[in-house]
């Protein structure tokens, strides 16, 4: 690949070469020793035959000969030097002595007659000095230029908006319609002005992480035939106060020259947080930047033809002045996708992947409620990585299932040694969760139970909603969630006579739901009063100075109501499990044997009370199929025990 040579990059090497050359020159010639002789002394040495070599250089300007040479007994770097009158007598004398004593005689070139030496001595030093001066001034001017650019906008201009189009964004039909209106206005403003419509100056994209806010903005850039500036909120904030405000001014100044145009600010909460918040005061640089942004969007100056699109997943921390009409007039909520949208997203990310015939993307979309677009892309990527590790030519359902577990809980820890007692505890615990989910009408569907450790969990029960729900949850459904969470602890206590630490996370989730029912949703005897407001702890100062919405007496009543909900659900859980003891132990025994049970196998256990037994040949065939998928060599000659060990070792290495 050809690369252009940068003078600034090569200059240090040139300087280094010159320095090394000078050092070598000084080392080579700096150690040479010259002994000064008079002309008469030289004649005496010549007559004695002590001269071994001699060099004469004629210098007509001074009327002398420069004579150098070596005598007998001189060292390698030792020479003599002398001067003689420029006359024929000297030449005749030297010729006579050379005939008598046969020494080496060299006639040097007169430096005055060498054009190269004249240029080297007279002009090269001047060129070096002038070049060094120009280089230094260029560096200084470059530094000043960078310092002057410190307040320049970091927004990047895209003329074509990139390659993303609306067709590349699966789902989000209503959201695309909202932002497409902006593009339509920029292309044909008269259609809107005819009816007196004013297009929004700013559109705020709000939603959880990974739902496609930035992707939607890229699609707007791709569809628009106008200049598109994009920048992150953190690019405005700097160490020095006033720099961010300067960058905002410069960004809008550039945008005015290219109007009509779009500006996209990603993660606007980095600069748009509420002013005056935070323990110990505000943040002057960020607040000045926000003030300048507010002024540019809807101040005394007019910025016609400039539309701002911003994205954030924390709209609750934004300054109210930023959200008022005239600034961000419109908020577009980008929610988690439903089943239909998940199917469309999976189809987009599956374009460049090879799947086995058994893979059904629609079934996968039904099994992944609550997954964002980024989660689904990660799911298929993890499945592809697993298929590559196993040397498979296509992605199968085995890889999809494993990838789903990896995304939710982390990789399986098959190499961890588990005692039989611990295995029984985990199996009973998970069976308790599953049976409550199976027997409660308002509970989620049980899709999978496993006692293989993943992440921090010794096992888990995958329970998914019966259908996608976007808006509300009933009280019965919340109580069913609490009851299901308590199933593990109740099963341990009821059937094993002891309790473990495995239910700590279940208690945390159950208590959070119960407290929200009391303080936020008005689902208790305290009435329909919101006593607490959901807070994410954005600013320490905000939470530290937050006043209570209730007295200490009411706080005691809140604790009593929370405990009352938990206790009632605990009693309900105990009743369900005692009535279905056989099913709990049946699921536990099956988990001890197979470690993982799928939804179909769970339904078979519930309906028939057992799983269809597999003969040895069928089990051996399944093991060989797994070994073939994983890529185990020599699997055809292995016994059942050898195959099980090889498969377990291969999974642990992954």
CA distance 15 to 7: 12
Q: Would you call 386 exposed, middle or buried from its count of C-beta atoms within 10 A (0-12, 13-18, 19+)? A: buried
Strand pairing partners for 184? none
CA distance 312 to 305: 23
Q: Which residue among 430, 479, 492, 629 is the active-site one?
A: 430
Contacts (Cβ under 8 Å, ≥6 apart) of 575: none
Of 153, 172, 257, 151, nearest in space to 214 by CA = 172
Of 49, 79, 50, 78, nearest in space to 66 by CA = 79
Asked if 403 and 382 touch (Cβ cutoff 8 Å), the reply is yes
Neighbours of 449 (CB within 10 A): 28
Please name the residue that has the structure tokens 């070139």. 109
Q: Would you call 124 exposed, middle or buried from its count of C-beta atoms within 10 A (0-12, 13-18, 19+)? A: exposed
Neighbours of 265 (CB within 10 A): 27
Of 595, 620, 597, nearest in space to 610 by CA = 597
CA distance 407 to 249: 43
Report the SS3 class of residue 104: strand
| Token pair of 370 as six digits | 């609550």
- Helices 420-439 and 599-608: crossing angle in degrees, nearest 10, is 80
Q: What is the DSSP string of 609-654?
A: SSPPP--HHHHHHHHHHHHHHHT-TTGGG--HHHHHHHHHHHHHH-
477 assigned to active site: no
Please name the residue that has the structure tokens 């009851």. 483
CA distance 439 to 313: 37
Of 433, 398, 426, 405, nearest in space to 592 by CA = 426
CA distance 88 to 387: 97
DSSP state of 317: G
Question: Angle at the Cα of 523 (from 518 to 527), degrees rounded to 5?
Answer: 85
| Token pair of 393 as six digits | 């030519």
Of 422, 467, 437, 394, nearest in space to 629 by CA = 394
Element (H, E) at 340: helix 339-349
Question: Is the bond into 318 cis (omega within 30 degrees of 0)?
Answer: no
Strand pairing partners for 66? 57, 83
Please name the residue that has the structure tokens 């003329």. 159
Please name the residue that has the structure tokens 């106008």. 226
Catalytic residues: 430
């Amino acid at each position: 690949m050809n690369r252009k040579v940068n003078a600034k990059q090569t200059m240090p090497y040139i300087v280094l070469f010159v320095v090394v050359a000078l050092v070598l020159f000084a080392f080579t010639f700096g150690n040479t020793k010259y002994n000064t002789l008079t002309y008469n002394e030289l004649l005496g040495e010549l007559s004695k035959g002590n001269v071994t070599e001699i060099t004469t250089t004629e210098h007509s300007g001074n009327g002398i000969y420069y004579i150098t040479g070596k005598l007998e007994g001189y060292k390698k770097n030792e020479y003599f030097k002398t001067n003689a009158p420029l006359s024929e007598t000297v030449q005749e004398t030297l010729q006579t002595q050379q005939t008598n004593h046969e020494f080496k005689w060299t006639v040097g070139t007169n430096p005055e007659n060498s054009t190269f030496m004249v240029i080297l001595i007279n002009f090269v030093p001047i060129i070096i000095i002038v070049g060094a001066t120009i280089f230094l001034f260029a560096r200084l001017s470059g530094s000043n230029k960078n310092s002057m650019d410190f307040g320049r906008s970091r927004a990047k201009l895209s003329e074509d908006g990139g390659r993303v189009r609306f067709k590349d964004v699966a789902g989000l039909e209503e959201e695309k319609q909202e932002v497409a209106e902006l593009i339509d206005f920029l292309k044909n403003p008269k259609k809107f002005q005819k009816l007196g419509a004013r297009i929004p100056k700013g559109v705020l994209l709000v939603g959880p992480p990974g739902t496609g806010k930035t992707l939607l903005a890229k699609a707007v850039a791709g569809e628009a035939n106008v200049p598109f500036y994009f920048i992150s909120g953190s690019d405005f904030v700097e160490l020095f106060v006033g720099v961010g405000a300067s960058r905002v001014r410069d960004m809008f100044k550039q945008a005015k020259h290219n109007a009509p145009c779009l500006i996209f600010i990603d993660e606007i909460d980095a600069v748009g947080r509420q002013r005056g918040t935070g323990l110990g005061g505000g943040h002057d640089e960020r607040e000045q930047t926000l003030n300048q942004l507010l002024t540019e969007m809807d101040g005394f100056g007019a910025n016609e033809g400039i539309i701002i699109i911003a994205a954030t997943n924390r709209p609750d921390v934004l300054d109210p002045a930023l959200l008022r009409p005239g600034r961000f007039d419109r908020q577009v909520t980008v929610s988690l996708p439903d089943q239909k949208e998940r199917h469309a997203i999976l189809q987009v990310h599956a374009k460049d992947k090879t799947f086995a015939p058994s893979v059904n993307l629609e079934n996968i979309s039904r099994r992944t409620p609550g997954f964002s677009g980024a989660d689904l892309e990660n799911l298929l990527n993890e499945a592809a990585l697993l298929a590559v590790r196993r040397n498979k030519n296509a992605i199968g359902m085995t890889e999809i299932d494993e990838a789903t577990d990896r995304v939710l809980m982390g990789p399986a820890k098959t190499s961890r040694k588990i005692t039989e007692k611990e295995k029984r505890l985990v199996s009973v615990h998970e069976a308790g969760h599953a049976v409550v989910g199976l027997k409660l009408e308002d509970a989620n569907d049980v899709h999978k139970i496993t006692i293989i450790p993943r992440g921090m969990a010794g096992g888990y029960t995958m329970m998914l909603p019966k259908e996608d729900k976007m808006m509300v949850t009933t009280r019965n459904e919340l109580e069913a969630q609490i009851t299901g969470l308590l199933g593990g602890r109740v099963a341990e206590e009821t059937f094993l006579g002891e309790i473990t630490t495995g239910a700590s996370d279940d208690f945390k989730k159950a208590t959070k739901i119960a407290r929200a029912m009391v303080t936020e949703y008005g689902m208790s005897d305290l009435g329909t009063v919101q006593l607490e407001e959901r807070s994410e702890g954005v600013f320490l100062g905000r939470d530290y100075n937050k006043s209570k919405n209730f007295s200490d007496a009411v706080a005691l009543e809140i604790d009593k109501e929370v405990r009352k909900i938990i206790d009632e659900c605990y009693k309900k859980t105990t009743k369900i499990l005692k009535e279905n003891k056989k099913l709990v132990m049946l699921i536990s025994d099956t988990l001890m044997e197979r470690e993982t049970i799928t939804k179909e196998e769970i339904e078979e256990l519930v309906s028939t009370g057992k799983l269809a037994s597999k003969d040895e040949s069928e089990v051996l065939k399944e093991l060989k199929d797994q070994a073939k998928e994983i890529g185990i060599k020599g699997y055809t000659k292995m016994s059942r025990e050898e195959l099980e060990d090889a498969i377990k070792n291969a999974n642990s290495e992954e």
